[in-house]
């Protein structure tokens, strides 16, 4: 992982590599759309038999 302490004004794009290395999926972080799609699925008829679960939307850092 590269250190970015030398950057005068580090931005979001400078953190992508570090955050992506924490996840099982090849994404640096979740977007709001990822969470909203899970909520829509849970509210749909397709999830009518799903009860009492915790549905982590986190790109898998705990599985790594």
- Domain extents for the chain? 12-63
- pLDDT bracket for residue 12 (50, 70, 90): confident
The pLDDT of residue 9: 82
The pLDDT of residue 63: 77
- The span from the CA of 47 to the CA of 57, in Å, is 16
Q: Is residue 14 within 8 Å of residue 6, measured between CB atoms?
A: no
pTM of the predicted model over 0.75: no
List pLDDT tens digits, range 40-63.
999 999 999 999 999 989 888 877
């Amino acid at each position: 992982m590269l250190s970015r302490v030398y950057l005068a004004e580090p931005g979001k794009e400078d953190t992508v590599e570090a955050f992506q290395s924490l996840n099982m999926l090849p994404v640096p972080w979740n977007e709001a759309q990822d969470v909203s799609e899970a909520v829509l699925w849970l509210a749909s008829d397709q999830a009518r038999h799903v009860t009492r679960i915790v549905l982590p939307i986190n790109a898998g850092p705990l599985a790594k």
